[in-house]
Amino acid sequence: MSSSAPLDDARDGFFKALADSGYVRDSTITILERNAQGDIPTLALIMSEFKNQGVTHVATVSSVATQAALKAFTDRPIIFGAVANPYIIGAGTSPTSHRPNVTGAEIPLPVDSAVLLAHEAFPEVKAWGTLFDPADPFAEFYLEKAKHGAAAAGVRFITIACTGPGDIGAGIQALKASGASGVVQIPSVMIGGAFSAVVKSTRQADMPLVATSNSYHGAPLRWA
Residue ranges of the domains in the chain? 5-106, 111-222
Q: Which CATH number fits domain 111-222: 3.40.50.620, 3.30.429.10, 3.40.1390.40, 3.40.50.2300?
A: 3.40.50.2300
CATH number of 5-106: 3.40.50.2300
Q: Convert the pLDDT of each residue in 136-157 to its tens digit.
A: 878 889 999 999 999 999 999 9
**What number of residues does the chain have?**
224
pLDDT of residue 83: 87
In whole angstroms, give the CA distance from residue 161 to residue 169. 12
Mean pLDDT of 71-97: 90
**Cα separation values, 112 from 64, 108, 109, 172, 187, Å:** 23, 11, 9, 20, 12
Would you say the CATH fold of 111-222 matches that of 5-106? yes
Entry pTM: 0.73
Q: Convert the pLDDT of each residue in 166-221 to its tens digit.
A: 999 999 999 999 999 999 999 888 888 889 999 999 999 999 999 887 776 666 66
Confidence label for 223 from pLDDT (cuts 50, 70 and 90): very low
Q: Are 4 and 213 in contact (CB under 8 A)?
A: no
Q: Residue type at 192?
A: G
Non-local (6+) Cβ contacts of 6 within 8 A are 82, 187, 192, 213, 215, 216
Q: Are 150 and 156 in contact (CB under 8 A)?
A: yes
In whole angstroms, give the CA distance from residue 170 to residue 187. 19
In whole angstroms, give the CA distance from residue 29 to residue 220. 41
Q: Convert the pLDDT of each residue in 22-78 to its tens digit.
A: 998 888 999 999 999 888 899 999 999 999 999 999 999 988 899 999 999 999 999
